[in-house]
Structure 1
């Protein structure tokens, strides 16, 4: 009898929990293992090679826990590691495993949220410098002009639970103004980091009310539902016992304290 496989969800830290939350709401019956590489977070300013190495190590760890399908719920890892893992590592070592990211599903639908064809993308330095969104959005919507803005202070602010404090206001305003200065016609802003939804209350006070602010949880969850419908050979291997396990490369006690902010409920993690 074939062993049932959990869906692996990986992030460099806590942000992927916002995606996990949406996936679990849309696909509640499945089994999941979440891994946050908190000991080496944040990934945003690391080199391509370092992020690829870190991401591959974590993906292989999830494989060792029985995961046949892994979601990189991290924009930086999706931008800097996913393609190499899909094209090099999976065919050679794990031909029966699949790894998906968050960039392509978002690029596939972003055209539905803009009338002006002027889109803003806010992300970590790693995501922005990779130009992954420029390339992916252009594949599906060549008429859309993408304006990018790196927001290097946002992840540290959020991970230190300062995102709703007055001290965060300066950096929220600074990066939003820098983005909008690139074009007065931007009518859609993508939060291309899974941490950033926690800044939504402040972003809504800074960005004009007629701008669509996109977060990725719902988009990625909907895309995963579609993927499983199109790939029954993967779907039939997945466990459906409504089990959720959480792991961190850092301190589990510290992870549990912060993770509930992202996941929306208390949880208990174990050391990777």
Structure 2
């Protein structure tokens, strides 16, 4: 039986927050993380470009021995996942699997709202794709989804300015714009893997009764469930607790920023 590693892909650093939760939930497996930092951010790229970049990175992870790849990137999940699953895998990689972060979140979000009114905060690309609205509606047709794009949040986080007082204006602006759409929103999904780093400020801005959801723990829990339901995938996965990090950008720059997202010092290699 061919041994396999779990691959985790993101356009840059944000997917490390998802990886952190996955590694905490399933610590024994081998992992390869790939950040496409040289071509990030993905949020404002055209559909075809995001698909092309994502497929190239997925195929690189396949070549590294990954039979299961998690797109820990909302933009890639929204704009590339379906085509990869429906076209590329059956044609070229029938024994490989690629999963995203949107569907696992949509499957459970109904358990976090009483008013059935949910807010989604994400990049322009994720919001414009309507992916969360469509996926949530599949599982919970009675839930109303209100979306708000937050174009300044990722640049603030990646320049390590997100906890400075200067970031407060943009945090309050987008949160207020979301809540103005409905006074009954009681659950807000952070639909970008960068956004958990804003949690201390978001908790101060949003009223206490609003559930603020990050994707990492949800995706980790759903991945565990997926492996239990698919033993043919799980039995291939190696459990040696190895973690390797790669970037398409400068490894030294990646390492400097990545520790903020992953919560510990790490060393990456060039893709």
Q: TM-score range by the shorter chain?
A: over 0.9
Report the equivalent of 1:133.
132
| Secondary structure of 1:193 counterpart | coil
Q: What does 1:193-232 align with in structure 2 at a 5 Å threshold?
A: 193-232=192-231
What is the distance in 2 between the residues matched to 1:198 and 1:49? 29
Matched, 1:74 2:77: no
Report the equivalent of 1:183.
182
Report the equivalent of 2:111.
112
Once the two structures are TM-superposed, the CA of residue 209 in structure 1 deviates from its matched residue by 1.1
Q: What does 1:1-272 align with in structure 2 at a 5 Å threshold?
A: 2-272=1-271
Deviations 1:10-37 (A, max 9, x none): 0000000000000000100000000000
Deviations 1:49-84 (A, max 9, x none): 110000000000000100000000000000000000
* TM-score, scaled to structure 2: 0.99
Once the two structures are TM-superposed, the CA of residue 3 in structure 1 deviates from its matched residue by 3.5
What is the distance in 1 between the residues matched to 2:76 and 2:47? 9
Once the two structures are TM-superposed, the CA of residue 184 in structure 1 deviates from its matched residue by 0.3
Once the two structures are TM-superposed, the CA of residue 167 in structure 1 deviates from its matched residue by 1.2
What is the distance in 2 between the residues matched to 1:72 and 1:212? 24
| Secondary structure of 1:68 counterpart | strand
What is the distance in 2 between the residues matched to 1:69 and 1:159? 28
Once the two structures are TM-superposed, the CA of residue 92 in structure 1 deviates from its matched residue by 0.3
What is the distance in 2 between the residues matched to 1:55 and 1:3? 24
Once the two structures are TM-superposed, the CA of residue 95 in structure 1 deviates from its matched residue by 0.4
| Secondary structure of 2:86 counterpart | helix
| Secondary structure of 1:34 counterpart | strand
Once the two structures are TM-superposed, the CA of residue 160 in structure 1 deviates from its matched residue by 0.8
Aligned residues: 271
What is the distance in 2 between the residues matched to 1:167 and 1:250? 28
What is the distance in 2 between the residues matched to 1:256 and 1:153? 23
| Secondary structure of 1:265 counterpart | coil
Q: 4+ runs of 1 displaced by more than 3 Å?
A: none
What is the distance in 1 between the residues matched to 2:217 and 2:207? 22
| Secondary structure of 2:66 counterpart | coil
| Secondary structure of 2:172 counterpart | helix
Once the two structures are TM-superposed, the CA of residue 269 in structure 1 deviates from its matched residue by 0.1
* TM-score, scaled to structure 1: 0.99
What is the distance in 1 between the residues matched to 2:115 and 2:68? 37
What is the distance in 2 between the residues matched to 1:148 and 1:156? 20
RMSD after superposition: 0.5
What is the distance in 2 between the residues matched to 1:89 and 1:168? 41
The unaligned stretches of length 5 or more in structure 2 are: none
Once the two structures are TM-superposed, the CA of residue 196 in structure 1 deviates from its matched residue by 0.2
Deviations 1:208-231 (A, max 9, x none): 111000000000000000000000
